[in-house]
Amino acid sequence: MKYTVDTAMVMGSVHQRALTPGQDAAVADVLPDGAFAIVSDGCSSGGDTTSGAWMLAKAAARAASLAIAENDTAFLLPEILATAEHAARAIALADDDLFATLLQAIVLRDRAVVQVYGDGVIAVGFRDGTWQFLRVEWDKNTPFYPIYYTRRKTDAFLAVHDSTSHAAVYVEHITYDPDGTARRQFCTRHTVAEGMVGLILSFDAAALRDIRALGVFTDGVASLPKISWSDVMREVVAFKNTTGAFLRRRMGRVLREYDVAPADDLSGAMVWLSSDDGGGL
Amino acid sequence: MPKLLKDDTVLEQRSLDGGAFTFRAARIDKLGATEYTLVTIAVDVTGSTYAFSDQLREALVSAVEACQRSPFVDRLLLRVVTFSTAAGGVREIHGFVPLADVDVAGYPVFEPDGLTPLYDAVYASVGAMAQYAEDLYNEDYLSNGIVIVITDGLDNVSQVTPAMIKENISEIRRKERMESLVTILVGINAEEYRGELEAFRRNVGIDYYVDAGQASDTTLARLAQFVSRSVVAQSQALGSGAPSQAISATI
């Protein structure tokens, strides 16, 4: 299996007007035995979440690399949080500097996993040309940030959402046929507890054979005027080719053609899987 | 002889007008950036340039080196051609390649001779750029372009006509495959032809005619600066939706 990866980041107009830095981070890499794509979205009302989001994304990249090398994802979150905490304490980042979501797609030797802590969008591309998009949202616009575990903020978080069993997480599922027709749309709801553990998509070896792309995007996808989040995704994944900066080129083209700019930071990271015989796009 | 391009620069041969003109360009799937300014510099190496051909080459080298120091060097693709009948018409020193891959020490010494296929040079330069830009557009790249043709005289032997050049330039603007295209005709030692060159510029739709004056070390050094500044200005304009407003019509 051959992998190509790319990330794309667009600073939201809110930050541009305010002359403040964006608060997203995006990392992707190809390793000998796999690949990963990671995004993180810092809380806009947090502290220095520009730094926090990057710290979390880089920690996740390190953890993903280890997981791929060992073909083991069992300790991903503890590894991520330990690394992020170690680095954060070294430069004295405060609690609210690390309030950020984390979405990651990791492809290992014989399986893949997509994990969402917080909100955002997942993209799954199938070899038959079908795309499935999942948008994860939280009640009260209060997503879970994984750093709550190590900064002892889970109680405060739960107080916002009433209880762990409250169905505070909405996932909108949309499937597009190869011709661009939206074939299936529905919503699922998940409890706070499930959201805190992380919403997970798993693909075993058999399922992975049908997959040609896994991508994760921050919720800035839903902040473009005049175009719905699912239409944005459908356009963004309409790649002409998947070499080099394929995601950046495509996202840039979409924003130019629609003449739109996201209000919130918009970032994406994607792994493209080609079979060794050159199959794929 | 130093190498002109890095070993791993991969070029593809392409043709215009059924093979009347050919050009080479970096394979698109090997390009790393998402947007590019395409640059073509075409240099007259006809017999009348004999007296200052070394300085002309030096000006070209200086211009390219200056562009290589630009902060936008990673999104510049440069093609350099010479033109004269003795050189076989329009002859490529190198096709569209990442500017960072060019080693100017490998640029050949000019051997000025022959007559002036100026119209062919303009047509082939603009046409090659348009075709490559279309291919980039089809792969979601954003591009703009700048063509600079340096001549010391009038056309006297081309295959193409001014009407063909005019149609070529008009079509590029209609198709909108490039964000913008700036075309500059530079006259060096061409004071006596200024009126006709200016008329040619107007007739075919070239943006600027710039008189570089009589060839000397000083004027050719200024020409090099003009070329590099114009290239950098157009590359800075990429993404703005319009051509650079910072290109001067004088040196």
When pLDDT is averaged across residues A13-36 and rounded to a whole number, the result is: 95
Question: Please, what is the angle between helix B194-204 and helix B162-175, to 10°?
Answer: 40
For residue A196, what is the domain's CATH number?
Answer: 3.60.40.10
Element (H, E) at B251: none
Amino acid at A205: A
Average of pLDDT values for B66-89? 94
Output the six-digit token pair for A156: 């405060």
Q: How far apart are alpha carbons B196 and B203 in whole angstroms?
A: 10
What is the nearest CA distance from A51 to chain B, expressed in angstroms? 26
Query: For the ranges A164-168, B21-25, B77-81, which has the lowest average pLDDT?
Result: A164-168
Mean predicted lDDT score pLDDT of chain B: 94
Q: Is A248 on the interface with B (CB under 8 A)?
A: yes
Among the partner residues A240, A248, A256, nearest to B139 by beta-carbon distance: A240
- Are A253 and B33 an interchain contact pair (Cβ–Cβ within 8 Å)? no
* Closest residue, chain B, to A249 (C-alpha): B34
Position A192 scores a pLDDT of 93
The full DSSP string for B97-132 is EEGGGB-GGGSPPP---S---HHHHHHHHHHHHHHH
Amino acid B20: pLDDT? 85
Q: Do A76 and A98 touch, CB atoms closer than 8 A?
A: no
> For position A280, what pLDDT does the model report?
44
CB of A269 closer than 8 Å to CB of A237: no
Annotation: CATH topology of B11-237: Rossmann fold (3.40.50)
- Identify whether A16 is part of a domain: yes
How large is the ipTM? 0.82
Give the residue from A5, A240, A247 with the most B CB atoms within 10 Å of its CB, the best one to mutate.
A240
Residue type for position B30: K
pLDDT of residue A279: 45
Segment holding A255, helix H or strand E = helix A246-258
- Determine whether the interchain pair A245/B29 forms a contact, defined as Cβ–Cβ distance below 8 Å: no
**Is A257 within a domain?**
yes
Phi-psi region of A2 (alpha: psi -120 to 50; beta: other; left: phi over 0): beta
> A244 in contact with B at a CB cutoff of 8 Å?
yes
Residue of A245, A250, A253 lying closest to B33 (CB–CB): A245
Chain A partners within 8 Å of B29 (Cβ):
241, 243-244
The minimal CB distance from A252 to the residues B30, B31, B142 is found for B142
Q: How far apart are CA A11 and CA A25, in angstroms?
A: 11
- For A220-228, what is the mean pLDDT? 92
Residue entry with tokens 């046409």? B127
Give the mutation candidate from B34, B35, B77, B141 for the A interface (greatest A CB count, under 10 A).
B34
Tens of pLDDT along B174-224? Answer: 999 999 999 999 999 999 999 999 999 999 999 999 999 999 999 999 999
Count of domains observed in chain A: 1
Rounded to 5 degrees, what are φ and ψ at A264?
-100, 160
Q: Residue B7's pLDDT is what?
A: 74
**Regarding predicted confidence, which is higher, A141 or A265?**
A265
Q: Which residues form the domain of A270?
A: 2-274
Q: Do B31 and A253 touch (CB under 8 A)?
A: no
* Chain B nearest C-alpha distance from A165 (Å): 46
Confidence label for B2 from pLDDT (cuts 50, 70 and 90)? low
Q: How far is B137 from chain A (nearest CA, A)?
A: 9
- The per-residue pLDDT for A281 is 52
Cβ distance of B138 and A243 shorter than 8 Å: no
Annotated domain spans of chain B: 11-237
Candidate ranges A61-70, A88-97, A268-277; pick with highest mean pLDDT: A61-70
Contact B35 A240 (CB under 8 A): no
